[in-house]
Amino acid sequence: MFSHSSQLLKRAAEYLYVLRAERPGLVKDRRLEEITAEIESRGTYEQTPEELSEAGRLAWRNSIRCIGRKYWASLQVRDCRGLDSADEVFAALCEHLALATNGGRIVSMMTVFAAAPPGGRGIRIWNDQLLRYAGYPQANGSVVGDPGQVEITRVIRALGWRGGPRTPFDLLPLVIEMPGKAPRLFEIPRSLVLEVEIAHPDYPWFAKLGLRWHALPALSNMTFEAGGLRYTAAPFNGWYMLTEIATRNLADEKRYNMLPVIARRLGLKTDNNRTLWRDRALVELNVAVLHSFEKAGVKMVDHHTASKHFLEFEAYEARQGRPTYAEWSWIVPPLSSSTTPVYHRPYESRELRPNFFPQNPAWRDMYSQAEAVEGSRCPVHGL
Ligand code: ARG
């Protein structure tokens, strides 16, 4: 008990120190005394709306895996800490989808729900992103849909979802778990989901592959840590960088694995590495995705421009007297890496706070908790 409180107070004080340096006007003189008293009397404290929203922007700035950080100061933070039912949380997520998608002119946004109680389990969104496509394993070992989502698809079906129409792009329902309550399923209204069908500017056959992707990348399973508080449900989004979809999601062997099909349509021999069929198919797939997003009016950045923006971010940070920490292997784009300036620079990786941290998949935590309590059963049957 004491250690939770003292750790919380230490982190709160550290954050106030950072905030005072960044935004002197935001922190009033006796704020630390106030927080101390609140922690002493009830074991936790509440951040002011300004402390919360500034922490959101700093968490983005401190995200060492993100190449898009030049725009950190523009993050819009929605304060939804007062919501205490799954229905209200779902409604707020729907609103987030609408506001952030904004007809394709994507707005960087985070919606913050109530912090976890000290040492306890907070609100959880079980999906790793608000928008995800189901993965259905087939008898022959292949997968219809996104092979990266097979496990959560199984979990959601164990919770009672019957599955979608079994296309490669069935949208998964959201799983929302409120503290002490069983997780609940929510279908996202289609009208809130902007998707782009992928076509190629020069190859008419490309559209017939039936590829598509959603416009909004909204991470929903990370903890947002600010001033010692853990916001276990705080989904946030930016806009896509081209290569996330075209070089990884649709191309990775363990995802949609489209390169062999595309290469054959391009007339390349896929039984010989030396035709460079993977490389050539990959470029055309990237051309198609960029062209399609642009035509649909959906904001997306290509990897060359994003790398340039990252260098501008670094320069800005340096002018403010701050070093830029980064995880090189995440910052360097997976296509034509050495043609981007970030490839040629070393980066030190160091995680400052506030920040976003990964958390264990919610159902695994829950399973081990249920196991630990004698006589109780895992709420997700069949896992
Ligand atoms: N790489 C993830 C995806 O392909 C999205 C991660 C966040 N990306 C972003 N541009 N904010 O869905």
Question: Measured in angstroms, how far is the CA atom of residue 249 from the centroid of ligand 1?
Answer: 10
Question: Measured in angstroms, how far is the CA atom of residue 122 from the centroid of ligand 1?
Answer: 24
- Is 80 annotated as catalytic? no
- Is 195 annotated as catalytic? no
Residues 6+ apart with CB under 8 A from 2: none
**How distant is the alpha carbon of residue 138 from its chain centre?**
28
CA distance 166 to 169: 8
Residues 6+ apart with CB under 8 A from 294: 300
CA distance 298 to 290: 10
- Is 253 annotated as catalytic? no
Atom number, ligand 1, closest to the C-alpha of residue 237: 11
Question: Measured in angstroms, how far is the CA atom of residue 244 from the centroid of ligand 1?
Answer: 6
Measured in degrees and rounded to the nearest 5, phi and psi for residue 346 equal -85, 145
Question: Measured in angstroms, how far is the CA atom of residue 214 from the centroid of ligand 1?
Answer: 11
Selected catalytic residue, list 69, 78, 132, 154: 69
Selected catalytic residue, list 22, 38, 46, 244: 244
**How distant is the alpha carbon of residue 102 from its chain centre?**
18
Atom number, ligand 1, closest to the C-alpha of residue 129: 12
Can you read off the two tokens belonging to residue 357? Answer: 């941290």
For the question of whether the overall pTM of this predicted structure is more than 0.85, the answer is: yes
Q: What is the 3-state secondary structure (H, E, C) of the chain?
A: CHHHHHHHHHHHHHHHHHHHHHCHHHCCCCHHHHHHHHHHHHCCCCCCHHHHHHHHHHHHHCCCCCCCHHHHHHCEEEEECCCCCHHHHHHHHHHHHHHHHHHHCCCCEEEEECCCCCCCCCCEECCCECCCECEEECCCCCEEECHHHHHHHHHHHHCCCCCCCCCCCCECCEEEECCCCCCEEECCCHHHCCEEECCCCCCHHHHHHCCEEECCCEECCEEEEECCEEECCCCEECCEEHHHHHHHHCCCCCCCCCHHHHHHHCCCCCCCHHHCHHHHHHHHHHHHHHHHHHHHCCCEECHHHHHHHHHHHHHHHHHCCCCCCCCHHHHCCCCCHHHCHHHHCCCCCCCCCCEEEECCCHHHHHHHHHHHCCCCCCCCCCC
- Is 239 annotated as catalytic? yes
**In a structure prediction context, what are the per-residue pLDDT tens digits for the chain, which is 383 residues long?**
568 999 999 999 999 999 999 999 999 999 999 999 999 999 999 999 999 999 999 999 999 999 999 999 999 999 999 999 999 999 999 999 999 999 999 999 999 999 999 999 999 999 999 999 999 999 999 999 999 999 999 999 999 999 999 999 999 999 999 999 999 999 999 999 999 999 999 999 999 999 999 999 999 999 999 999 999 999 999 999 999 999 999 999 999 999 999 999 999 999 999 999 999 999 999 999 999 999 999 999 999 999 999 999 999 999 999 999 999 999 999 999 999 999 999 999 999 999 999 999 999 988 666 555 544 455 565 55
CA torsion angle 88 89 95 99 (round to 10) = 150
